[in-house]
């Protein structure tokens, strides 16, 4: 049986509450794959990621929504 929370828990780092929904951007320090299309993302590329789930999107798969 899976344990599922009814809503995301607050994330607090160094006393600061961080958002649990939405997207942000970062520059990759390591190569990885896009979680949407599985294309390679190289070191130094800018990506969009979901702040709670950590899914990473390449420039072609960016989410237009700010959810």
User: For residues 19 and 32, what is the distance between their CA atoms, to the nearest angstrom?
Assistant: 24
Is there a contact between 66 and 24 (Cβ–Cβ < 8 Å)?
no
Q: What is the pLDDT of residues 14-67, one digit of tens each?
A: 999 888 888 999 999 999 999 999 999 999 999 999 988 899 999 999 876 444
Cα(67)–Cα(48) distance, rounded to whole angstroms? 12
Q: Indicate whether this model's pTM tops 0.75.
A: no
């Amino acid at each position: 049986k899976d344990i599922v929370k009814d809503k995301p828990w607050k994330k607090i780092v160094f006393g600061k509450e961080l958002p649990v929904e939405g997207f942000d951007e970062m520059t990759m320090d390591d190569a990885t794959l896009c979680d949407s299309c599985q294309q390679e993302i190289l070191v130094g590329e800018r990506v969009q990621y979901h702040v709670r789930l950590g899914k990473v999107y390449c420039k072609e798969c960016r989410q237009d929504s700010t959810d």
